[in-house]
Structure 1
Amino acid sequence: MQEQVKQQHIPVNMYGTNERLMVVTPMPGLEPENISIEVSGDGQLVLRGDLRGALKEHDGKERFLDEWRVGAYLREITLPVSVNAVCANASYGNGVLALAFPLSEQTVPARLTLERVAPSSHGQRKGNTGHPPICVHVQP
């Protein structure tokens, strides 16, 4: 019988500058396409990581300590400032999700997904990573 995987609460670091709000969180064990990021109109950030495939049991091995788990992840946070999620930068590499949201007068909601940059690449990104955002206001 296979054990049901429960969603895990993930720790988050959040900090800001005069131009951006940054959010960083560990989400090890996932493929980038299994991570979803959503900012709602009322300023809620929802991070999800869906585990794909079955976890392998270690038949015949005695477990002495079993503290580390991979996905599924869920975290909901009320953002402290208004952001433009349409113009966000998102990157995922080495099991860490990093988000940079430009500050905005009012929150512009969006749903973000990560895309692979190259088949052999270890990092994934979405948005204007490393470049100033070139973004126009999009009506939700």
Structure 2
Amino acid sequence: MIEYFPLLISLITVIAGFITWGLNERSKRKQESYKRKEERYAELIKSIKGFYDNSDSPSLKENFLQQVDLCWMYCPDDVVIKLYAFLETVKTNSSTDVEKETALGEAMVAIRNDLLKDSKIKSNLTPDQFKIYSVK
């Protein structure tokens, strides 16, 4: 038994090394995914003003639409569904400002919940608490 002791120690060391490496890689992938989502959401929020402030900025609207399309790769279903619900309200002039603000607020809450889901921070914000302000 004693002659197998160094072999056993070596085997345990190799297995522990693989487990540590696997957990480290998993953590890296999770962090990279979070960073991609955070960047995507930041661009969405920056370009949302293209739909408000009497803005006719096609570049802001186009950027928003591109970011929504890219959300298909990394964002949860709830966020994608809420973003499309918002786009449906701004697509036609039949929606009221309250409906548009509610749809946008729901999308923002979904985004916030996605980013905070693995955090110790808990959010009780509601869709009606999200507001768009202008410096004008």
TM over 0.5: no
Higher strand share: 1
Which band: TM-score by shorter chain?
under 0.3
TM-score by length of 1: 0.25
Higher normalized contact order (CA 8 Å, seq sep 6+, divided by chain length): 1
User: Which of these two proteins has the greater Rg computed from alpha carbons?
Assistant: 2
